[in-house]
Structure 1
Amino acid sequence: MASIYDIKPAFQNLLRPLTRGLAAAGVTANQVTVLATALSLATGTAIALFPAARWPLLVMPGFLFLRMALNAIDGMLAREHGQKSRLGALLNECGDAISDTALYLPLALVPGFDPRLIAIIVALALVTEIAGLAALLTGSSRRYDGPMGKSDRAFVFGCLSLAAGLGLPLAPWLTPVLGIIIVLLILTTARRIRRALGEAGPPS
């Protein structure tokens, strides 16, 4: 099953001139990572503080796109401009987990969203990333496979937030959509585990 992650190379190509300019200006990958996390916390806090207001939900889609851009930029700064570091790797993984939780968990407070399903989704999203990281323990590469990775979650929740922010009726279809997300997260975790084991090969 296809994932939005598959278009990442094309997205990076669009951002490469900006990334070169940031590197020339002395901006570091770690600074970009921290900025993305801080903005995620601010956006999630706005939704949590004003769950019945529309404006935080309308901000969410644009910020999720910005977050994807910042995530691509920090990776290119690290790989292509000699900024790889152990601290950067830790900030990147921890920042993603913090950002996902900060952005999506407050939706449990928004009218129309089932808080139990949102909590399950946030927990399963963390499990998918743990599965991707745990692949390193088997000798495999970091796994990003699956139909509900970070970029896919951003796209889906951006659309849901936009619909809620515009005041569209959510009742007939929102709960089934959240249920589908849960199923896709489980499939994503399973695929990452299977691909990691396949790449690692049989145990010695």
Structure 2
Amino acid sequence: MISIYELKPKFQQMLMPFVDYLYKHNVTPNQVTVSACLLSIIIGMLFYFNFESGWIYAVLPVFMFVRMAMNAIDGVLAKKFNLESRLGKFLNELTDVISDTVLFIPFILLTQTFQAAVIIFIALSIISEMSGVLAEVTSGKRRYDGPMGKSDRAFLIGAVSVLILFSVPLEPYLHIVFIAASLLIAVNIYKRVLGGLEEN
């Protein structure tokens, strides 16, 4: 299935000037990773306490794009300039699930029916990333299979935010959106586990 992740090589190429700039100014991949997580926590808190304000739904899609860019930059910076580290691997995986959690939780306040759909979405998002990491442990290759991988989830949240910003009455149907997304995440979990097993 098609995933936004497949566009990553072109996206990384576009970000190369930023990568070179950061390297020249002694910014490390881990600093970028931690900064993206801290910004996610700040935006998540702002979202939680301002979910009834229109401006937050303009901020969210912009930030989701910025976060995707930062997630790509840290990896390119590490590989291009041989700055990879074991700490970086831990930070990369842990900060991703922390960021997802704090950014997604506020949608519970918007979901009018079956709020547990948001919790299921968050839980499966974490399991999805765990599956990708475990695939690397067993086969040596990190799995990023879609559909509804990290980049797809960021796009979904951005799209939902834009619709709400433009007063599309989406709230009564948010549980359906999150259930559908969760089913797609379940597919990627299966694919990541299967792919990890087939690598051997």
TM-score by length of 2: 0.95
Partner of 1:21: 21
Q: Which amino acid aligns with 2:31?
A: Q
Residue 114 of structure 1 deviates from its aligned partner by 4.5
1-side partners of 2:98 and 2:180: how far apart?
23
Deviations 1:3-35 (A, max 9, x none): 000000000000011111110111111110011
| Inter-CA distance 82–140: structure 2 relative to 1 (3 Å threshold) | closer
1-side partners of 2:196 and 2:64: how far apart?
28
Deviations 1:177-198 (A, max 9, x none): 2221011010010000011111
**Matched residue SS, 1:67:** helix
Deviations 1:35-77 (A, max 9, x none): 1001100111011112212211221100000000001100011
Deviations 1:142-195 (A, max 9, x none): 100120100000001110111112221115643332221011010010000011
**Contact map agreement 1:107 1:113 (CA 8 A) in 2:** no
2-side partners of 1:103 and 1:132: how far apart?
21
Pair 1:182 & 2:182 matched: yes
140-149 or 170-179: which moved more?
170-179
Structure 1 vs Structure 2 CA RMSD: 1.4
Residue 105 of structure 1 deviates from its aligned partner by 1.1
Q: Which amino acid aligns with 1:123?
A: A
Partner of 1:191: 191
| Inter-CA distance 113–69: structure 2 relative to 1 (3 Å threshold) | farther
1-side partners of 2:105 and 2:38: how far apart?
16
Partner of 2:148: 148
Partner of 1:120: 120
**Contact map agreement 1:124 1:186 (CA 8 A) in 2:** yes
Unaligned runs of 5+ in 1: none
1-side partners of 2:114 and 2:11: how far apart?
33
Pair 1:80 & 2:95 matched: no
Q: Which amino acid aligns with 2:182?
A: I
Within 5 Å, give how 1:46-61 maps onto structure 2. 46-61=46-61
Deviations 1:108-161 (A, max 9, x none): 112547421111100000000000001122124010012010000000111011
Deviations 1:89-123 (A, max 9, x none): 11111110100001011111125474211111000
**Contact map agreement 1:140 1:197 (CA 8 A) in 2:** no
Give the number of equivalent residue pairs.
Answer: 200
Q: Aligned residues: percent identity?
A: 42
88-97 or 112-121: which moved more?
112-121
TM-score by length of 1: 0.93
Q: Which amino acid aligns with 2:116?
A: R
Within 5 Å, give how 1:154-169 maps onto structure 2. 154-169=154-169
Unaligned runs of 5+ in 2: none
**Contact map agreement 1:52 1:111 (CA 8 A) in 2:** no
